[in-house]
Amino acid sequence: MDIQAWTWGIVGFTFTLYIGIAIWSRASSTGEFYVAGKGVHPIANGLATAADWMSAASFISMAGLISFSGYDGSVYLMGWTGGYVLLALLLAPYLRKFGKFTVPDFIGDRYYSDIARVVAVVCALIISFTYVAGQMRGVGLVFSRFLEVNINTGVIIGMFIVLFYAVLGGMKGITYTQVAQYCVLIFAFMVPAIFISIQMTGNPIPQLGFGSSTDGVYLLDKLDGLHRELGFHEYTSGNKSKIDMFFITGALMVGTAGLPHVIVRFFTVKKVSDARKSAGWALLFIAILYTTAPAIAVFARINMIETVSNKKYTELPNWFSNWEKTGLISFDDKNNDGLVQYVENEEVNELTIDKDIMVLANPEIAYLPNWVIALVAAGGLAAALSTAAGLLLVISSSISHDIIKKIVNPKISEKGELVAARLSAVIAVIIAGWFGINPPGFVAATVALAFGLAAASFFPAIVLGIFYKRMNKEGAIAGMAVGMFLMLYYMMRFKFGWFGGGTKDDWWFGVSPEGFGTFAMFVNFVVSLIIASFTPKPPKEVQEIVDNIRIPLGTNEAQIH
C-alpha cells in the first residue's frame, strides 16, 4: 500500500474513534460541559492533560527546533516540563479546592471584583486565540503534505471534527477524546523514534540511543564534528547568552503553569489529592515525548546532513522532492556545481529547510515503512486537534460563564447557559478556522506572546491569591494590568517594530521578547505587593476563602454553583 492509502486509513480510523467517543460521552449539564462533572479519574486526567498540553508545536515543531538549535533548544525541554512542577506544587491542588469552573472565576472571587474578572477573561481570550491559530495551521500542514489536499480544505476538515466533538461533548467529551488522542500521538511519536534508534545505534531506547556510539564514535561527538566542518556552532554547546537562556526557560515554565486550558483540566477531578496526582501523571506522560524529542533531533540532524550534504541534487531521495513541492525545503544551486552545499555561511549555503518538517520527514529520511509515515500524520493531527479542543473550551466558557452568566445576565437558566456555551464554541471554532486559513504572519511570535502573557498576568495573581492572604484587589488588578501591558509593549516593539522598534542591542538587560515574560512577571509581583501594602486588607470572607483552599478537607461540600 502506498503512503496515501495508509494515511487515509489511519487518519480515518482515528477520526471515527474521536467522534464515537464524543457521542458516547456528550455533556448534558453546564457542570459536565465546563468541568466534566468533576468526576475524572486522576490517571485519565493525566492522559487528557498531556494531550491537551502537547500541541502541534510539541509534536511537529519541537524536535525540529532542537535539531536546528542544539543545546539552545533545551529552553523548550526544561521550560515546557518544569512548569508542571509549579502547577502541581503551587496551583493545581488549591484551585481544585476552590472548586469553580474557570480561571477568571478564581480571580474574580478571590479579588472580589468584576474588574479583576474581566481583566482575567481578556487575558484568557488573548492567550487562547493566539495559541489556537497555530494548531489550525498544524492541521492544514499535515493534511496538505500527506493527503495532498489543499491546506484550506485540511483546515476545514479539522474544524468540523473539533466542532463536532467539542460542541457536543464539552469538557466531558473532550476529556475522553484526549485520552484516545494521547495514545495515538505517543504511539506515533515513539514508533519511528525506536526504529531509527535501533537503525543508528542498535539501542531500542532513544533516550539512551543518542548517547551511545555508532562505528566506535559517540553520536553526539560525531554531530559536533559535522557541525564544525560545515561552520555551524557546536551542537552540544549554545549560541544564546546565559541570561537569555535563563529568562526564556523561566517564561516558558511560568507560562505553562499559567495557561488557562491546562489549569482548567485540574478542575475536572474529584478531590484535591487527585489534582496533585493527575499533575504527576500528566508530567510523566509528557516526559515520554519530551525526553524522546532531543534524541529524534540528533538522529534527524545526522541523517539529514549525511543524506544531503555535498550530494548530487539529481540523486537525492524521493522525500526531498515531495517536500520541495510544499515549499518547505528549497534548493538554490548558487555555484552551479549540481551539489548541495549546506553550510552556516549564508552566501555559500544553498539549502533552506523549514524546521517544522523534521519530525514529519524523519521517517521518510530513515526509509521507514509506509505505515509508520502514515502514523506520524495521524499523530500530528491528534496533537493539534486535542490542544485546539481544549483551547476552544476555555474560549467558550470564558464567554458563556465568565461574561454572560457572571456579569451580563446572572439570571440565565442552566439550559440557556448551556446553549450559550455551545454557541460560543461554534463561533470560536469559526474564528480559529479563519486564522488557520489566513494565518497572521505573526503566528510564531504570538505563541511566545501567549506564554509571556500567561506568565506576566495570571501566574502572580493566582500564586499571591493562594500564598499571601493580605493580597487585595487593588494590588492584583494593578499587577495584572502592568504585567500585561509591559509584555504587550515589549513584544510589539521588538517583534512588530512598533514604538520605534529596535534590535538585539536595544533589548533590556539582553533579554529577548521570548524571555521577557519572566521579567514582566517579576514586575507584576513587585507592583502587586507594593500597591497591596498601601491599600485596605481584603474583606474577612475572602480571607476565609484563602484559609479554606489551603486545606484539602471538605472539597465537595461547597455548592456547585
Which residues are near other proteins by CB under 8 A?
66, 71, 73-74, 77-78, 81-82, 84-85, 88-90, 93, 207, 210-213, 218-221, 236-238, 242, 245-246, 249-250, 253, 271-273, 276-277, 279-280, 283-284, 287, 290-291, 294, 547, 550-556
**Residue the block writes with cell 526531498:** 320
Q: Write down the least CB distance from residue 287 to other proteins, Å.
A: 5
Question: In sequence order, what are the residues at sequence separation of 6 or more whose Cβ sits closer than 8 angstroms to the Cβ of residue 186?
Answer: 285, 288, 289, 379
In angstroms, the CA 297 to CA 73 distance is 10
The DSSP symbol for 339 reads: B
Task: Cite the beta strand spans of 128-281 per DSSP E.
Answer: 213-214, 217-218
Name the residue nearer to other proteins (CB basis): 369 or 552: 552
Q: Write down the least CB distance from residue 280 to other proteins, Å.
A: 4
By the 8 A CB rule, do 258 and 89 touch?
Answer: no
Q: Write down the least CB distance from residue 293 to other proteins, Å.
A: 9
Q: Write down the least CB distance from residue 455 to other proteins, Å.
A: 15
Per the rule left: phi > 0, alpha: psi between -120 and 50, beta: everything else, 241 is beta
Q: Write down the least CB distance from residue 260 to other proteins, Å.
A: 21
Q: Write down the least CB distance from residue 249 to other proteins, Å.
A: 7
* Angstrom distances, CA of residue 114 to CA of 110, 111, 348, 473, 532: 11, 9, 59, 10, 18
Name the residue nearer to other proteins (CB basis): 73 or 170: 73
The DSSP symbol for 331 reads: E
In angstroms, the CA 129 to CA 260 distance is 12
In angstroms, the CA 61 to CA 124 distance is 24
Cβ-based neighbour number of residue 160 at 10 Å? 14
Q: 102: exposed, middle or buried (C-beta count within 10 Å: 0-12, 13-18, 19+)?
A: buried
Q: Write down the least CB distance from residue 243 to other proteins, Å.
A: 9
In angstroms, the CA 359 to CA 356 distance is 7
Take residue 132 and report the three cell numbers written for it. 489556537
Q: Write down the least CB distance from residue 8 to other proteins, Å.
A: 35
Name the residue nearer to other proteins (CB basis): 221 or 414: 221
By the 8 A CB rule, do 27 and 35 touch?
Answer: no
Nearest to 247 by CA among 544, 520, 515: 515
Q: Write down the least CB distance from residue 233 to other proteins, Å.
A: 13
In angstroms, the CA 357 to CA 329 distance is 9
Name the residue nearer to other proteins (CB basis): 44 or 420: 44
Name the residue nearer to other proteins (CB basis): 442 or 468: 468
Q: Write down the least CB distance from residue 251 to other proteins, Å.
A: 13
Name the residue nearer to other proteins (CB basis): 477 or 549: 549
Name the residue nearer to other proteins (CB basis): 272 or 476: 272
Angle between helices 151-201 and 114-146 (to 10 degrees): 70
Name the residue nearer to other proteins (CB basis): 157 or 279: 279
The DSSP symbol for 415 reads: H
Name the residue nearer to other proteins (CB basis): 214 or 322: 214
In angstroms, the CA 295 to CA 209 distance is 7
Name the residue nearer to other proteins (CB basis): 221 or 344: 221
